[in-house]
Structure 1
């Protein structure tokens, strides 16, 4: 199984768009730290590559989605349930390994929205399924959640800061929904496109959100829902929320599995219903044009 904590000379060369010989010169001169395998092959730790990248400004400019066919073939999502390295790292509480897996995907050119859609979300969904099936306990589910947040924090700190724009996005989840991960992922996607973000986290009452909208006048409101409790009350609260802000004409995005049900979607009219973070990224870029 491939060691996600290290990269080969050829992989580093592709990331920096230089020759293998150049990478070897960097290593031999001490500019880029490396280590040797038992077979004598040179390997580079992900953290060392990131440090070198930041210090020398090499390969920092990369457009989202700028993947070559060979990269798509080599690094496509290979999730196989419990065979997933990322899932195993989360369940084992291995923060360094989980962070290295995400960083490796990012260094190989996969956009963050695809990392979320193809790796983070499916694995966290599987964690929930394992808990529901009684195959892991609540402590293990909490551990996996904590580790994924730490891994995402590590990834976020290494995403190059793009030119800041003037747009402001609000992120939150429905009241009664304590799944905060979707709001966190949405925040990272917005920030990677240069937006300012106010993330109110999970279980946000609509009356309080309306007050903040009036106070700050965001350009877009992004609300997630993994589950909806007391649907009758929330339907009324959401209608009052939209009515109060109707004159502001601020687009509202709703996302989450619950909106795959048209009966629920009809209760919560929004400007956009998104199924993935790739969809969110596309919407953000179209909004900016």
Structure 2
């Protein structure tokens, strides 16, 4: 039996935006947004990546699928139960020269579901530009995303700079890199490595977000 993520992946690869969005909204009648992000949308993109690695699809196919996935993420039904008052703020972006961004968009939606005010700045953001937004927004959490190991020096530079911010935000490091490599050296009371959406949701479930203001 074909799994939901495979069905969605082939809709992405067919370039069928309307059918892909319809399929996701139908699933929303049965499952939570959290389930869709963790068990359907994210695995669908991993599945597409595997097809590309196996030379079963072309780069153009992969780019088309990414564009359709982006459309679906931007068009999903709003969560009507979202809280009106924000207790915390998060700012998220992909490091300089990092082009992957769909995972970060899903993380942004996850923060919003938890009642956070979120600024998602997209991929490939230089340090000086991120600092401008960070100083204005003063987020409680700064989320950094990277997929490839040679972004590690950039991640380290960003962490060291953000540690000097006077209000002491929590720095989260995520992306495919965080699931494939041991990044324990970066972790501290100010830096957390997020190894996938289940890890982030566990952090929310444990209520650890509630202690941010107490420690900053």
TM class, shorter-length: 0.7 to 0.9
Partner of 2:27: 105
Contact map agreement 1:116 1:185 (CA 8 A) in 2: yes
Contact map agreement 1:190 1:281 (CA 8 A) in 2: no
Say how many residue pairs are matched.
206
CA distance in 1, matches of 2:195, 2:156: 24
243 and 188 in structure 1: CA distance in 2 versus 1, 3 angstrom threshold: closer
Partner of 2:196: 276
3-state SS of paired residue (2:90): strand
97 and 204 in structure 1: CA distance in 2 versus 1, 3 angstrom threshold: same
Q: More deviation in 164-173 or 269-278?
A: 269-278
Deviation of the 1:218 alpha carbon: 0.8
CA distance in 2, matches of 1:149, 1:235: 25
- Structure 2, unmatched stretches of 5+, are 212-216
Counterpart of 1:202 (choices 109, 119, 123) is: 123
- Structure 1, unmatched stretches of 5+, are 2-76
Normalized against structure 2, the TM-score is what? 0.82
Contact map agreement 2:104 2:175 (CA 8 A) in 1: no
Could you report, residue by residue, the CA deviation over 1:191-241 in whole angstroms, capped at 9, with x for unpaired residues? 222221111110122343233222221111122222243544x15522432
3-state SS of paired residue (2:3): coil
Partner of 1:173: 94
CA distance in 1, matches of 2:134, 2:33: 28
Higher relative contact order (CA 8 A, sep 6+): 2
CA distance in 1, matches of 2:116, 2:45: 26
**RMSD over equivalenced CA pairs, Å:** 2.5
Contact map agreement 2:94 2:104 (CA 8 A) in 1: yes
Deviation of the 1:138 alpha carbon: 1.7
190 and 267 in structure 1: CA distance in 2 versus 1, 3 angstrom threshold: closer
Q: Does 2:51 align with 1:134?
A: no
